[in-house]
Structure 1
Amino acid sequence: MTVMTSLAHRLRSARLYLCTDARERQGDLDAFLRAAFAGGVDVVQIRQKNMARDAELAALEVARSAAVATQGIVCVNDSPKVAKAFAADMLHLGQTDGSAKRARRSLHEWALIGRSTHTPAQLEQAAADPGVDYFAVGPVHATPTKPDYVPVGLDLVRHAAQVAPVGDVSSKPWFAIGGLDADNLDQVVEAGARRVVVVRAITEASDPEAAARVLKDRLRRAWSDDPALASYALRSAALDA
């Protein structure tokens, strides 16, 4: 468990969320994650299907160590059991991973839970669920990490911006996800997203730190250019006072 600035405040302050496998082929997980965090990544989720439990826990520990310097958040994918063993600060659930209320029994009292959403109804349910702290909206574009999902396009992003206005600090944070990179980031920003999840935009970059910085700088500009977000940081901090 990581105890520094409150996890809820760090989530509200997050802009750039990275999903990555354990980099077993490259053998560079620690160096890769340190570069990603240095470039501005706020949240890292280790997502590798059918990974042995001990190997997943080891990868998560590497991520936790890499996250310390920037107070990044490390997220467990899907499994409350792994989250419990890791004393995770964040757990992300898909639509078939059970209730957030049940999953929370495996977590420490300050831990955060996210939910993937792919339809307006799922989005609205996640926004209303008291057990869910944030949600992801997508996949916006086709992506090999979710080959069975039909891209939702930008309409669901626009719907999320109406259901949970980013400028309203009482709204749950949400992240657009699915095939996002530096070339199409402006599209989701224009649709109302101010937080995004990326995969290949950083994992396949020759310079992960530089790739993260490009994305983070664009998101920072979106926040600074949005009048509705002018006092967001102060209002967010006040919630934790």
Structure 2
Amino acid sequence: MNDVPTQLYLISPLDVSGDFPQRLEKALEAGKGLVTAFQFRVKGLDQHEAAALAEPLQEICAAREVAFIVNDSIALAKRLGADGVHLGQKDGDVREARDELGKDAQIGVTCHASRHLALEAGEAGADYVAFGAFFPSETKETEHRAETELLEWWHEMVEIPSVAIGGITPENCRPLVDAGADFLAVSGAVWSGDEVTAIESFAKAMA
């Protein structure tokens, strides 16, 4: 997996109502072969509301063979039959997620800037680990800052894919690609403007 070029992992804005399904379609069309995963991340909704918003987005991803990952909630991921779940440090255990979602589920874990947390996640059976934030983010409060050396070390030492996250834009992403990140997780840089232009800019910067 580490020989595959770096790919984009899109994270949804918190508001996925209105015309967001159309925006997602456009982004995935523009990012064919580059965008390989999409994370559904909404806060403060009950599971029924969240599921209703997720379903059209899940169909859009499935039609384009983009993995549909649910943020934080093992229960919602199970209800939707999602491709996987992304767990923060307080969102549950990798082994519990594996028991609930099955052997084929993609399970990712937020590991901040910690080699220790990442190695623990790998031992528990995580399919990928996420490091960050690498840059200040407008999408999410960032307590932890990670350096590119962490990506380089992980890339050399461990086979489990890494995701770089936090304030990543077309202008600042190149050092993360060069450091060996398998995926760049992006949200604000895509959804705060024209999504097609943003994806095309990432494609140029990452090539």
Aligned to 2:131: 137
Q: Report the Cα offset of residue 212 of structure 1.
A: 1.4
- Look up the match of 1:227: none
* Counterpart check, 1:186 vs 2:186: no
Report Cα offsets for 1:216-237 as digits up to 9, x if no partner. 3443x2xxxxxxxxxxxxxxxx
Match of 1:216 in 2: 203
- Given residue 85 of structure 1, which amino acid in structure 2 is its aligned partner? R
Q: Give how far 1:69 is off.
A: 3.2
TM-score (structure 2 length as normaliser): 0.87
- Give me the whole-angstrom Cα distance separating, in 1, the residues matched to 2:6 and 2:73: 22
Amino acid paired to 2:123: A
Q: What is the aligned length?
A: 201
Q: CA deviation at 1:14?
A: 7.3
In structure 2, C-alpha distance between the alignment counterparts of 1:194 and 1:91, rounded to whole Å: 18
Query: Counterparts of 2:98 and 2:144 in 1: how far apart (Å)?
Result: 29
1:183 Cα deviation after fit: 0.5
Matches within 5 A, 1:1-241: 15-24=7-16, 27-40=18-31, 41-118=35-112, 119-129=114-124, 131-164=125-158, 171-206=159-194, 208-219=195-206, 221=207
Quote how far apart the aligned CAs of 1:94 are. 0.8
Which whole-Å CA distance do the structure 2 matches of 1:148 and 1:139 have between them?
6
Report the secondary structure of 1:106's partner residue: helix
| 1:13 to 1:192, Cα distance in 2 relative to 1, 3 A | closer
SS of 1:192's equivalent in the other structure is coil
Question: 1:106-142 CA distances to partner (integer Å, 9 max, x unpaired)?
Answer: 214421111111112112222333x211111111112
The runs of 4+ residues in structure 1 deviating greater than 6 Å are none
Structure 2 counterpart SS, 1:132: coil
Identity of aligned residues (%): 29
Contact 1:83 1:106 in 2 (8 A): no
Contact 2:136–2:166 (Cα < 8 Å) also in 1? yes
Which one has a bigger Cα radius of gyration? 1
5+ residue gaps, structure 1: 1-8, 165-170, 222-241
Structure 1 residues 194-226: Cα deviation after superposition (integer angstroms, max 9, x where no partner)? 4210111111122x123113313443x2xxxxx
Distance 2:103 2:148 in 1: 35
For normalisation by structure 1, the TM-score amounts to 0.76
Are the structure 2 counterparts of residues 201 and 148 from structure 1 closer, same or farther at C-alpha, using a change threshold of 3 Å? closer
| Superposition RMSD in Å | 2.1
Question: What is the distance in 2 between the residues matched to 1:152 and 1:174?
Answer: 13
Shift of 1:83: 1.0
Amino acid in the other structure paired with 1:33: L
User: Which runs of 5 or more residues in structure 2 are unaligned?
Assistant: none
